[in-house]
């Protein structure tokens, strides 16, 4: 496996030049006190150093060692303890955490860069850090002052870690079916009883305490999702002074044996009257959890993108070095590198064009989240929040779908060497596969996009997005430095408007058409948004540097002519409806 080097220059270009994030930061009273361009650049560079030198070199060995389970005790790979301590000591678990509670207070648009680097370095390791940040975000947003005072600072410092306990063996997507019960005690606490499965980092040896966020139902709770409450359940009790006490009645029953992310502890967690504390209001637990989900699902996109970047770096290094065959017209006596072959170049450019657009898109989503979080008025908060909410399922599903494709493509460039352990490509394929499944499968994300986000406001937010893209296209004016690509994107915007309007009408008449078209519609939106990102990249590169502009322009041309054209076939599938999906009865399958 080649050495991972974080794409620092491209990250800084996207953040500083494409989206001009420092201008937004300095225009916001709270952010201006915490971050500027120099601080952000230093954070990116230090992130790159830590992930490349401390974490990435150990990813293969950690995968081979995996996690060990013995009578409720989970042991992580040998390198993880030291790596985690370095991350914790550097304050990285609290990078985007509330600065008043011990976090660094950085915006998500910067945090998403660190997320990508961590996922490139070692996806399994990144989960221990990511789940803690997610748990802290939920607690910070909805916890009582007492809970925040007791738990937040130690989560931000990495001294303690966090989990999300949602899934049960019979209740995956449909959380309304959960059985875990929470019985109230006289002192305001609750006793939780039930079993949760697929709990990432549910038990491990990296921190002295683990703080579980658990969905459960009160005895008198309404049926379905309306009756779910959220509770904080510590592995070890914490006294009023913040010191650890006795072990709580929560234990790990087993760990899963998985296709990938072998070094991530995926646990069955048993709550046997475990003492917990409610977060937020009774029966409003799902709403509390969804505060975190927009951020966490964007982190899924970072997982897909991070593995894709590592795959591209590996494949590019191999293609330049591997001598095999000769190019047409070659006069070399010996074989040429496989870089001369059109198909290898096609695969590499496909990877490159999707990765660079994906990085810009993830940043775009994060900036919308930041603008919603730091808005000075209710209208901006609502509008940016709605846009971020609509973009979130695309970030989760499209970026991870492309992530798997890119990892498989990188493996293909290696040929037979990509299928064996030595080169690391098969690990990336195994690891990235989970990103399409957990935190809501990509099919569920597609249903969420069309059913809740587009149909929910009758296309209002989607129309606002299309208007935004059209306005940007017009900004090129007479000096079209996009060399005609802006016009091509304009045609795709028209296509998306028509498809969206037609699909809304079809679904109102035949609700099954939502499920029949949802995945293809999400992919259409993804390809359109990547085209939008490429226009932004081109314009920023033209303003910054001629050599950079030429390189970006060449990649953008490949994307527009060889990749984005996929939208045409997707359109036909979307508008075909769902009738043919229901022609067979069950026995016909």
Closest to 83 measured CA to CA, from 110, 59, 108: 59
Matching residue, tokens 């409450």:
229
Is the pLDDT at 174 greater than 70? The verdict is yes
Is the pLDDT at 89 greater than 70? The verdict is yes
Q: State the DSSP code for 217.
A: B
In which band, very low, low, confident or very high, does the pLDDT at 360 lie, cut at 50, 70 and 90? very high
pLDDT of amino acid 479: 80
DSSP-assigned letters across all residues of 311-347: HHHHHHHHHHH-B-S--TT---SSPPBGGGSHHHHHH
Backbone φ and ψ for 96, nearest 5 degrees, come out as -105, 15
DSSP-assigned letters across all residues of 456-514: GGTTHHHHHHHHHHHHHHHTT-SS-TTTTHHHHHHHHHHHHHHHHHHHHHHHHH-THHH
Q: What is the pLDDT of residues 238-279, one digit of tens each?
A: 998 889 999 999 999 999 999 999 999 999 999 999 999 999
Is the pLDDT at 1 greater than 60? The verdict is no
Is the pLDDT at 327 greater than 80? The verdict is no
Determine whether 46 is an active site residue: no
441: which 2 tokens?
């499968």
Q: Tell me which of 296, 439, 520, 557 is the catalytic residue.
A: 439
Q: How far is CA 519 from CA 67, 455, 493, 571, in A?
A: 35, 15, 18, 11
Q: What is the pLDDT of residues 112-158, one digit of tens each?
A: 999 999 999 999 999 999 999 999 999 999 999 999 999 999 999 99
Q: How far is CA 449 from CA 349, 377, 452, 502, 579, in A?
A: 29, 26, 6, 16, 21
Percent of the chain with pLDDT over 90: 90
Distance CA 537, CA 531 (A): 10
**Widest pairwise Cα distance in the chain:** 86
In which band, very low, low, confident or very high, does the pLDDT at 211 lie, cut at 50, 70 and 90? very high
pLDDT of amino acid 172: 75
Closest to 232 measured CA to CA, from 188, 276, 196, 280: 276
Distance CA 352, CA 196 (A): 39
Distance CA 252, CA 154 (A): 22
Q: Are 502 and 459 in contact (CB under 8 A)?
A: no
First-last CA distance in the chain = 43
State the burial class of residue 140 (Cβ atoms within 10 Å of its Cβ: 0-12, 13-18, 19+): buried
DSSP-assigned letters across all residues of 160-181: EEEEEE--BTTBSS-GGG---E
Q: What is the pLDDT of residues 471-528, one digit of tens each?
A: 999 999 878 899 999 999 999 999 999 999 999 999 998 888 899 999 999 999 999 9
Is the pLDDT at 2 greater than 70? The verdict is no
Q: What is the pLDDT of residues 560-582, one digit of tens each?
A: 999 999 999 999 999 998 889 99
Model pTM? 0.97
Cα angle for residues 442, 445, 449 (degrees, 5° grid) = 145
State the burial class of residue 477 (Cβ atoms within 10 Å of its Cβ: 0-12, 13-18, 19+): exposed
Distance CA 66, CA 256 (A): 11
Q: Are 62 and 125 in contact (CB under 8 A)?
A: yes
pLDDT of amino acid 326: 76
Closest to 374 measured CA to CA, from 21, 16, 28: 28
3-state secondary structure of 286: helix
pLDDT of amino acid 323: 85
Q: How far is CA 44 from CA 13, 114, 451, in A?
A: 12, 7, 37
Q: Are 128 and 62 in contact (CB under 8 A)?
A: no
Closest to 406 measured CA to CA, from 354, 484, 459: 354
Q: What is the pLDDT of residues 50-76, one digit of tens each?
A: 999 999 999 999 999 999 999 999 999
Average pLDDT, the chain: 95
Backbone φ and ψ for 338, nearest 5 degrees, come out as -70, 0
């Amino acid at each position: 496996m080649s050495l991972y080097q974080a794409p620092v220059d491209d990250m800084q270009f996207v953040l500083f030049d494409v989206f001009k994030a420092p201008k937004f930061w300095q225009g916001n009273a709270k952010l201006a006190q915490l971050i500027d361009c120099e601080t952000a650049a230093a954070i990116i560079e230090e992130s790159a150093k830590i992930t490349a030198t401390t974490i990435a070199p150990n990813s293969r060995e950690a995968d081979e060692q995996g996690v060990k389970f013995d009578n409720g005790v989970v042991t992580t790979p040998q390198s993880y303890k030291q790596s985690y301590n370095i991350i914790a000591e550097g304050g990285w678990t609290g990078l985007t955490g509330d600065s008043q509670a011990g976090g660094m207070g950085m915006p998500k648009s910067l945090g998403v860069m660190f997320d990508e680097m961590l996922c490139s370095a070692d996806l399994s390791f990144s989960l221990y850090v990511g789940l803690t940040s997610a748990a802290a975000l939920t607690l910070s947003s909805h916890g009582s002052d007492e809970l925040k005072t007791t738990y937040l600072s130690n989560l931000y410092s990495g001294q303690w870690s966090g989990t999300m306990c949602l899934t049960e063996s019979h209740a995956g997507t449909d959380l309304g079916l959960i059985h875990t019960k929470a019985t109230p005690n006289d002192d305001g606490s609750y006793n939780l009883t039930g079993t949760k499965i697929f709990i990432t980092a549910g038990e491990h040896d990296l921190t002295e305490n683990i703080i579980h966020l658990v969905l459960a139902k009160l005895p008198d709770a309404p049926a379905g999702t309306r009756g779910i409450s959220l509770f904080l359940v510590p592995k070890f009790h914490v006294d009023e002074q913040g010191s650890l006490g006795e072990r709580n009645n929560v234990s790990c029953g087993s760990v899963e044996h998985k296709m990938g992310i072998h070094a991530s502890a995926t646990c069955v967690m048993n709550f046997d009257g475990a003492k917990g504390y409610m977060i937020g209001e009774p029966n409003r637990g799902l709403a509390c959890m969804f505060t975190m989900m927009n951020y966490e699902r964007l982190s899924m996109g970072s997982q897909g993108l991070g593995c894709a970047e590592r795959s591209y770096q590996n494949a590019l290094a191999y293609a330049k070095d591997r001598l095999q065959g000769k190019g047409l017209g070659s006069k070399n006596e010996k074989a040429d590198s496989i870089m001369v072959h059109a198909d290898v170049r096609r695969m590499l450019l496909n990877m490159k064009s999707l990765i660079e657009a994906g990085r810009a898109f993830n940043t775009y989503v994060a900036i919308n989240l930041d603008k919603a979080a730091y808005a000075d008025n209710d209208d901006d908060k609502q509008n940016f929040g709605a846009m971020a909410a609509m973009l979130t399922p695309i970030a989760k599903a499209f970026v991870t779908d492309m992530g798997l494709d890119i990892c498989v493509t990188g493996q293909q460039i290696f040929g037979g060497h990509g299928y064996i352990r030595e080169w690391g490509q098969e690990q990336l394929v195994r690891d990235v596969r989970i990103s399409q499944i957990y935190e809501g499968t990509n099919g569920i994300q597609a249903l969420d996009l069309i059913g809740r986000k587009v149909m929910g406001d009758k296309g209002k937010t989607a129309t606002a997005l299309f208007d935004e893209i059209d306005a940007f296209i017009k900004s090129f004016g007479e000096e079209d430095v996009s060399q005609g690509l802006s016009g091509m994107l304009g045609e795709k915007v028209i296509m998306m408007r028509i498809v969206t309007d037609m699909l809304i009408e079809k679904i109102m008449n035949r609700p099954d058409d939502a499920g029949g078209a949802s995945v293809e519609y999400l992919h259409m939106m993804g390809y359109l948004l990547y085209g939008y990102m490429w226009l932004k990249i081109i314009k920023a590169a033209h303003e910054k540097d001629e050599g950079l502009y030429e390189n970006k322009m060449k990649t953008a041309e490949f994307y527009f002519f060889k990749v984005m054209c996929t939208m045409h076939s997707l359109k036909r599938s979307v508008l075909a409806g769902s009738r043919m999906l229901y022609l067979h009865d069950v026995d016909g399958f």
